[in-house]
Each structure stands twice: as C-alpha cells, then as structure tokens.
Structure 1
Amino acid sequence: MTDAQKTTQAGRTTESTSSAAFTAEERAAMKERAKEVKASRTRATRAEKAAAEEAAVLEKIAEMQDSDRVMAERIHAVIRDNAPHLAPKLWYGMPAYAKDGKVLCFFQSAEKFNARYATFGFNDIASLDDGTMWPTAFALTRLTAADETRIGALVKQAAS
C-alpha cells in the first residue's frame, strides 16, 4: 500500500491525499472557486459587485478557445435576453448565472476538463422538474439557432 492510500474498516483501499484524489484540472477549479469566494467578501456595493462579477464572466469567456468562446458568448446573450434577472458570476472558474445568490445554470468549456464537448448545465434550484426524470446538462459541440431557442426556453423555465 502506498503512502497515498489507507484501508477503511471494511478493508477497502481509498486515496487519502488530494493530489491522488483529484486531477490537475479539478484542483485548478477548486483554487479558482476559493478566489471567487474571497473576492465576493469585498466591501463593494451590490451594484459594484454585480458589475465586477459580469466583467469577470466576460473576461473568462474571452480567454476561451475559439469554439468554446463563441458558444459561451451566445449563451451569455441568450441568458441575458431571456432571464435578465439572473446574475452572471464565476463558479469554479466557469461562467454561471445565479438566482438569489445560488447558481442556477453554467457553461463549462470543453477545454476546462479536456473534454470532447462543452457542457451547459443546471443546478438543483432550476425549476425543470418533469416527472421522475429530466435532463440537467447538455453536451454542446456548436450552437444552432434552434439550440439557442431551446436554451432560452429552458432558462426561462428554470428561472421561474
């Protein structure tokens, strides 16, 4: 057994160090989240914080690779058009949109975790319930006008 492993009472081996338990991308996302939380504790007014949050989101989008950047820009515009009351903010280094301080939806670039597609997803505060099972995340390789319309409708429903 290595130093990074330990045995539980049930006899299973588990990882006990964060370097072994998390990928480099996951550790980077956690560090970004810690910076976001620290930045949110500033003594700025609510309007100043909102402006700073949106600027940070737009800056993060501008840093993305071309295909992800184009999708993130369009999704940002669709959300602002369909649910202007949602507050843009960074969440684990990803563009996200909050309702009453809680992240409702987010865009994860493919590059973020070296994935083959970007993801647009919703958290559990989203009002998307449909029976006993419904989608909460969507894989994106590009956006069509129909996709934008669907995202707009989902965001409206989720934010209601």
Structure 2
Amino acid sequence: MSTTKSSTEPTTAKASKPDKATQDLQDVVDKIAGWPEPYATIGARLHETILSAGPKLKPRIWYGMPGYATSRTAPVVVFFRLDDGNMSLGLSEKATVAREPGTTLHPSAWFLTEIDDPTLAKVSELVRTAFS
C-alpha cells in the first residue's frame, strides 16, 4: 500500500497569503518605488523615518498616497504624496498639533524638494507629536 496522498485529497496546510498589514506595507513600498527620482528616494526616507519615529504605526494607501495610523482601521494621521512634481508631507485633522505661536493656524503640510538630516529630525518630531 502506498502512503502518499493523492492529488484529490485536501491538504491540511493552507496556502500562505500575506496578512492584510503585510500587504498594506508592501503596497506603500511599491507606491513609493514607482515614483520618479528624486521623489522615490525622498519618499523611502520619509517612510523609514515615520516608521522609526512611530514603530507601532501601520502604513497603508490612503486616498492614493502613503498614510500612517495606529491600526489598520484607525484614522490616518500622517501622510505624504506626490502630485504634479510636488512632494508634500501632511498631518490630518486627527493629528495632535499645537497652534503656531501668536496665530490661530495649525501647521498641517510641508513641501519637499530634497531631504536632509535636519528635515528628517523634524519629521520624526512631527510624527511623535502627531500621535501623542
């Protein structure tokens, strides 16, 4: 008697599919990688910095752009996008943001044409504050 399973018998191991969080992360990485330079590099560095400043954050595509929230179903708080050759970093209305001194304005968006260490340090600070 043969002890091998026939091809008609069901297998006990399910085909491994990436979980939704893993797929969301891959979608964000793919989105950024598809941008032209220098924006792909800027986006990759922003992505790494945001996740480093908020290691529990969950990235996902939000309105066609990389967005970051505390869970897959929580509101996005930090995002960035590339539109018509303009890279912007933004905070949604759900972010914790202090008003600018002497005004009623709340900072919520910045444009980037390049990236450097002081800018990444500021992004880290914004992310930590936005999710506090």
- TM-score of the two chains, using structure 1 as the length reference: 0.65
- How many equivalent pairs are there? 110
1:125 aligned residue: 94
Identity of aligned residues (%): 30
2:118 aligned residue: 146
2:67 aligned residue: 96
8 Å contact kept, 2:99–2:107: no
SS at match of 1:125: coil
2:23 aligned residue: 52
Paired AA for residue 114 in structure 2: R
8 Å contact kept, 2:39–2:87: yes
Rounded to whole Å, the distance in 1 between the matches of 2:130 and 2:121 is 14
Deviation of 1:148 after TM superposition, in Å, equals 0.2
- Alpha-carbon displacement from aligned partner over 1:114-145 (angstroms, at most 9, x marks no partner): 14x21000101100122622210001001111
Higher relative contact order (CA 8 A, sep 6+): 2
Paired AA for residue 47 in structure 2: H
2:11 aligned residue: none
Larger Rg: 1 or 2?
A: 2
**Unpaired runs of at least 5, structure 2:** 1-17
- Alpha-carbon displacement from aligned partner over 1:82-106 (angstroms, at most 9, x marks no partner): 1011110001221111134211111
1:135 aligned residue: 107
- Alpha-carbon displacement from aligned partner over 1:30-60 (angstroms, at most 9, x marks no partner): xxxxxxxxxxxxxxxxx81110100100011
Report 1:56-71 matches (<5 A): 56-71=27-42
Q: Give me the CA root mean square deviation.
A: 1.4
User: Going by fraction, where is helix more abundant, 1 or 2?
Assistant: 1
Rounded to whole Å, the distance in 1 between the matches of 2:114 and 2:55 is 23
**Unpaired runs of at least 5, structure 1:** 1-46
SS at match of 1:138: strand
Rounded to whole Å, the distance in 1 between the matches of 2:34 and 2:19 is 23
1:78 aligned residue: 49
Of 112, 129, 132, the residue aligned with 1:157 is 129
